[in-house]
Structure 1
Amino acid sequence: MQYRYLGRTGLKVSVLTMGTMTFGATGGFAKVGGADLKEAQRQVALCLEAGVNLFDTANIYSTGASEEILGRVLGKRRPDVLVASKVRFRMSDGPNGDGLSRYAIVREVEASLKRLGTDVIDILYLHEWDGMTPLEETLGALDTLIAQGKIRYAGASNFSAWHLMKAIGVAEARRLPRLVTQQIHYTIEAREAEYELVPVALAEGVGILVWSPLAGGLLSGKYGPETPSARQVAGWREPPIRDVARLWRIVDALREVGGAHGVSAAQVALAWLLGRPGVASLVVGGRSEAQFRDSLAAVDLTLTSEQRAHLDAVSAPPVIYPYWHQNWTARDRFGPADFTGEP
């Protein structure tokens, strides 16, 4: 296993994080498959053996069942690993059952701690933007929880770049906790993050974790135009695919490179992401031990510069405004965080 610093912090995380969204899998989360306690024990043991030191969950995953199972499985091993969870989505009825108010954050963190059977959450993510709660209130609640020793670091997930930059600005102006990481959707098929989210991370020293790096299995190489994934069949909407023909061209390229190395297309997709600027860790999940074993093996895959160039070209995102104008007129003054896609 390899480890990287999380943004500008001194915290090292494994380049692969174990995602536990499938633990419990009740309600709407049943669409992504499920792992009961015994299966979760086997999967966690496999990841621990491989050197994974970060386990990712959220209060909303199966309405707390994921946290409960993860807490039970880790047990006495909890002090030796890092646990990340999230708050924002509705967890109860009533007018204050969701959001990022001080009331909601403090209440949900305390509930998550009980479910996880732990005293502290290492990384707490704001799971989604809340445009109705002042950032001073949200960050102030995080400040309280850090001072109480209930969380160690805070991050954002699914924020836009201006949301993240505003949060950083408010934190610095009010001397409140800085968001040190963001968990975003970013794949070789979905490269929108390269317009703004990756540049702001590089410029501000915010660590990048990637959720669903295989696009819900679509980049695994197992599926094609006539063979939809199990998640698609079950009606799971994430991620949206807007150009299906382009998706399968990318999958063909992943299979081609994988064939040259004797590995799966999934490993190539993960290795490509691990080579992108700013990426600290990829959150990988799976329905079975075999899927986890395949993903874990991606750490040892080294792509050639020619293979990376081929994958970059087949998946290149369109250069939208203002980037095409900047590329034409300001490229001589670009810094390391600027978007440099070819118009």
Structure 2
Amino acid sequence: MTRIGSSDLDVFPLALGGNVFGWTADRDESFRILDVFREGGGDFIDTADSYSAWAPGHSGGESETIIGEWLASRRPEGVTVATKVSQHPQYKGLSGSNVRAAAEASLARLGVERIDLYYAHFDDAETPLEETVAAFGQLVADGLVRYTAVSNYSADRIREWVRIARELGVAEPVAIQPHYNLVHRETENDIVPVAEEFGLSLVPYFSLAKGFLTGKYRSTDASAHDTPRAEGAAVYATPQGLQILDVLERIGAAHDVSIAATSLAWLRAKPTVVAPIASASKLSQVQDLLDGGRIELTSDEVAELDEVSEWTPADM
């Protein structure tokens, strides 16, 4: 178990991504995935109010609804649920009134009294940051949210958020959710330092590079894979990217785990990272995620992966 920032949220060091629930995993499969994840020791679930508004016929909130139905059905103890605001079609942006309305809607869908960890999903340049910070602080003061966090914010805007929160005397964020993985390491240059500065924890998304770091995609020809994420993953299948997979495969074999689990273990070993986010659209994928939250790579293995991944694909 690992603690998120300065909070009292003590979680399994791998967050189960809820973006697939109600999208590539239907309700029954989502329930099975959640059941196996919980039975395997997982207790940290990440979602957003906008999941999965992008799918035909969806309006947003599908993932939260399924998670809420699972929570009501199973009544698991000690589960931490994180969700986000700003992208739901009915609750766009981060104005004070919108943040409040969106939080209340998420609470209703999840069927909980308090959201454990509530993220500002994307920065909103149209709303004064003071207004957003105050709104998040009020949610904590009113008991609707336990802890606040930010996702997809620049280092400068995170520093500004913390400064405003301190001036207002309201809750400060405890976590940052950035794009971070073995083939996207720019986060180390700006977000990691700000996390270290303020004692914040990273909960990275795209931890498996849209599936590339599972080893499934070894060709830049996305048409060879009939999956929603094939095109996004295939772009990494360059000679350098394939070399990363080869090293992951060899290190994973030494621990008797998959390429995906090894990728997650590398990310967990990085400064300030508390729990990478990874999703499973099939029950068979859950064990890799649980393994990724448990195995410990040696310092030499981490260093080897650091060295082989000192490269970023163009335009990523």
Question: Would you say same fold, with TM above 0.5?
Answer: yes
Structure 1 CA distance, aligned partners of 2:75 and 2:294?
26
Structure-2 change in CA distance of 1:229 and 1:126 (3 Å): farther
1:141-160 mapped onto 2 (5 Å cutoff): 141-160=135-154
Other structure's SS at 1:210 match: coil
Give, in whole Å, the separation in 2 of the partners of 1:89 and 1:273: 27
User: Residue 155 of structure 1 aligns to a residue in which SS?
Assistant: strand
The Cα offsets for residues 262-313 of structure 1, whole Å up to 9 and x where unpaired, read as 3211111111111111111111211211111122112342323322221111
Shift of 1:9: 2.0
Distance 1:37 1:158, change over 3 A: same
> Is the contact made by 1:218 and 1:229 (CA closer than 8 Å) also made in structure 2?
no
The aligned counterpart of 2:159 is 165
In the alignment, which of 19, 22, 28 is matched to residue 21 of structure 1? 19
2:51 is the counterpart of 1:61: yes
* Uncovered stretches (5+) of structure 2, i.e. residues with no partner: 53-59
Q: 1:288 to 1:107 in 2, by over 3 A?
A: same
- Residues of 1 paired with 2:77 and 2:229: CA distance? 38
Per the alignment, residue 7 of structure 1 pairs with 5
Residues 98-142 of structure 1: CA distance to partner in whole angstroms, max 9, x if unpaired?
A: 110011111111111111111111110000011121111111111
Aligned counterpart in structure 2 of residue 116 of structure 1, from 106, 110, 115: 110
Residue 116 of structure 2 aligns to a residue whose secondary structure is strand
Amino acid at match of 2:69: R
Task: Give 3-state SS (helix, strand or coil) of 2:301's partner.
Answer: helix
SS at match of 1:185: coil
State whether residues 113 and 119 of structure 1, in contact with CA within 8 Å, keep that contact through their aligned partners in structure 2.
Answer: yes
* Alpha-carbon displacement from aligned partner over 1:222-278 (angstroms, at most 9, x marks no partner): 220266498885367757957833222211221222233332111111111111111
Equivalent AA in structure 2 for residue 67 of structure 1: E
2:68 aligned with 1:71: yes
Look up the match of 1:301.
295
SS at match of 1:55: strand
Residue matched to 1:129? 123
Q: Does 1:103 align with 2:103?
A: no
- The residue type equivalent to 1:258 in the other structure is G
Q: Residues of 1 paired with 2:7 and 2:131: CA distance?
A: 23
Going from structure 1 to structure 2, the CA distance change for 1:104 and 1:296 (only over 3 Å counts) comes to same
> Greater Rg, structure 1 or structure 2?
1
| Residue pairs, 1:1-343, within 5 angstroms | 3-25=1-23, 34-62=24-52, 63-75=60-72, 77=75, 80-92=78-90, 97-225=91-219, 228=222, 234=228, 241=235, 244-317=238-311
Of stretches 8-17 and 160-169 in structure 1, the one that deviates more from structure 2 is 8-17
Runs of 4+ aligned residues of structure 1 deviating over 4 Å after TM superposition are: 229-233, 235-243
What code does the residue aligned with 2:138 have? T
Residue ranges of structure 1 left out of the alignment (5+ in a row): 26-33, 319-343
Q: Structure 1 pair 161/236, CA: closer, same or farther in 2 (3 Å)?
A: farther
Mapped partners of 2:97, 2:233: distance in 1: 31
Task: Give the whole-Å Cα distance in 2 for the aligned partners of 1:167 and 1:240.
Answer: 36
The structure-2 alpha-carbon separation of the partners of 1:163 and 1:52, relative to structure 1 and needing over 3 Å to count, comes to same
Q: Report if aligned partners of 2:14, 2:277 keep a CA contact under 8 Å in 1.
A: yes
Q: Tell me, what secondary structure is at the counterpart of 2:213?
A: coil
Describe the shift of the 1:78–1:132 C-alpha distance in structure 2 as closer, same or farther (beyond 3 A). farther
Tell me how many residue pairs correspond in the alignment.
304
Tell me the CA shift for residue 78 of structure 1.
Answer: 5.3
TM-score, structure 1 as length reference: 0.83
Q: CA 1:259/1:243 → structure 2, altered by over 3 Å: closer, same or farther?
A: closer
- TM-score, length-normalised on structure 2? 0.89
- Distance change (3 Å), C-alpha of 1:171 and 1:238: farther
Question: Does the 8 Å CA contact 1:217/1:229 hold for their aligned counterparts?
Answer: no
- Whole-angstrom CA distance in 2 between matches of 1:231 and 1:270: 23
Give % identity: 36
